[in-house]
Amino acid sequence: MAAVRLVSVVILISFVCDLLLGITMLFHWSRFLSLSFCTDLSQNHNHMSFIAALSFDFSASDGFLLHLKIIRQSIFWGKGQEQFHPLDSYLVCFLLSLPEAKQMSASRFLFSNGILLHSSDAPPVKSFLETHPGAYTTSRTHNNGSWLLFWERHMKRLSESIQILSNSAPQLLFKSNNSAISLPPSASLPIGQPTVQMLVNDSMHKILPIALKKRNGFEELAITTLVSGNLEELNACQTVSEDRMSKILDVHVHVETYVPPTFGIWGNGVHLAVVGDGRQVAAAKYSDWVRIRKPLEKLRPPSVTELLLSNDGDQILEGCVTNFFVVCCKDSDSNGEKALCGYGNKSSFEVQTAPISDGVLPGTIRQLVLDVCRSEGIPFREVAPSWSEREMWEEAFITNSLRLLQHVDSIQVPTEWKSAHSKTWKDISWTKKQFQGGPGMITTVVEEKIMEKAILEGYPISEIHRG
């Protein structure tokens, strides 16, 4: 009799626990349903890959494992089930909406003027860039935080940006705490990549070990390096020499945890909208661009991942934080209509991206794409993709140093370009192009080759630690 009562008590406790957990799940589930970005995920048919694509190491969090087990048992009745259910893509999005997900991805650090700030004190990278002038570059780690992606290329581009800004736009590079000190029209700095890399690595050595200890197993680190000119120090120098650069230049390093998107997953493509004019001094990457592009946000439809730039609504230059590429069907019939491109025949396609001379940023990954096209025999032209020729576009993708390469699912352009800038996205009539399926053949080849280069050109974190 006692045994029966004990079993009854255990069953009752289990029932109460399940009820409480069910209420908790319903609360989180209701919040999850409000996440519009999950609506396309039911199209994903490779569920195992999709789970991996979101780069979540569930074993890193007991909380995630608990939620995973509860949801699978209560919704899928899948006790002991090892196969992934068609709704598992929604499940992962649901997990992303939980507080644990937000807590696990909130770590950030800032090393500035000899002071190291931790998560609660370190501002988001956008806020920091908006309030500090200078040249900057952004890279990230890969292979579980053990390598830096294309670090040598980033240091080369950073040193070039410093030189360009000091020569042609010193107001974008120098800061001053004294309003009485005026900016020179030009302040050419004799600085090369080795000096820049030495200064940056010195700051990285102070922040990376701490940031690496705080990252979870599924996370990488996004690293933004900002170099500002100190106007007081510049004016104090009788002669500007390279050995004085450590006084004239201030190095700031912002680090935050980052979960890279995985290439090639259905529903993981980006959605783009063409909304704004091209940038000024595009040859250099400078922080003031973060503030300048802010007004464009009113034109961003809710589902859009990235905003593209165009001076006329037809010739597409680049994205706000990406370079933009299309893959065209090169062949056409006698009437100029698109012909059927041969699947597996790379020569029947052409990759197009706007040239640097049109006023686009010479992105690190942009150059790698062109290098891959040359080495793989893929035809390409540096010409701004024309929206009026969009019927010839078979594929499209964007690149930057965090995402590397992402295929495009859709692009939309205001039907009436001239009046669009005075409106908000709700008031604009859009014309949209939808790409079919996941990444195409050319996009896939380019991505695979870039990943190979990432391994070959990886910069070991251990080199930073050596100081």
53 close to 265: Cβ distance less than 8 angstroms: yes
CB atoms within 10 A of CB 403: 20
pLDDT tens for 380-398 read 999 999 999 999 999 999 9
Band the pLDDT of 88: cuts 50, 70, 90.
very low
- 97-123: average pLDDT: 75
Domain ranges of the chain: 2-103, 107-260, 270-455
Helical pair 151-168 and 364-376, crossing angle rounded to 10 deg: 120
Q: Using alpha carbons, select from 262, 260, 270 the residue that is nearest to residue 40.
A: 270
pLDDT tens digits for 34-74?
433 333 333 333 333 333 333 333 333 334 444 444 443 44
Please indicate whether residue 288 or residue 234 has the higher confidence score (pLDDT). Answer: 288
* Distance of alpha carbon 208 from alpha carbon 460, whole angstroms: 12
Does 264 or 115 have the greater pLDDT score? 115
Predicted pLDDT of residue 264: 72
Q: Are 441 and 447 in contact (CB under 8 A)?
A: no
Report the distance separating Cα 430 and Cα 450, nearest Å: 33
Which of these CATH numbers, 3.40.50.720, 3.40.50.200, 3.30.470.10, 3.40.50.1110, describes 107-260?
A: 3.30.470.10
Residue with more model confidence, 182 or 59? 182
Which tokens sit at 148?
Answer: 């830096």
65-to-48, 52, 100, 375 alpha-carbon distances in Å: 16, 15, 11, 45
Q: What does the mean pLDDT of the chain come to?
A: 79
Residue pair 309/278 in contact (Cβ under 8 Å)? The answer is yes
Of 16-25, 277-286, 309-318, 425-434, the poorest mean pLDDT is in 16-25
Identical fold at 107-260 and 270-455?
Answer: no
Mean per-residue pLDDT for 101-111? 70
CATH superfamily membership of 270-455: D-amino Acid Aminotransferase, subunit A, domain 2 (3.20.10.10)
Listed ranges 29-38, 180-189, 201-210; the one with the highest mean pLDDT: 201-210
| 463's tokens | 């080199």
Instruction: Name the more confident of 418 and 212.
Output: 212
Nearest to 252 by CA among 213, 206, 298: 206
Q: 138 to each of 205, 221, 396, how far by Cα in Å? A: 17, 11, 23
The residues, ordered by sequence, that sit 6+ positions from 372 with a Cβ below 8 Å of its Cβ are 378, 445, 446, 449, 450, 453
DSSP for residue 154:
H
DSSP-based three-state secondary structure for 396: strand
Averaged over 271-280, what is the pLDDT? 94
Average pLDDT over residues 313-323: 97
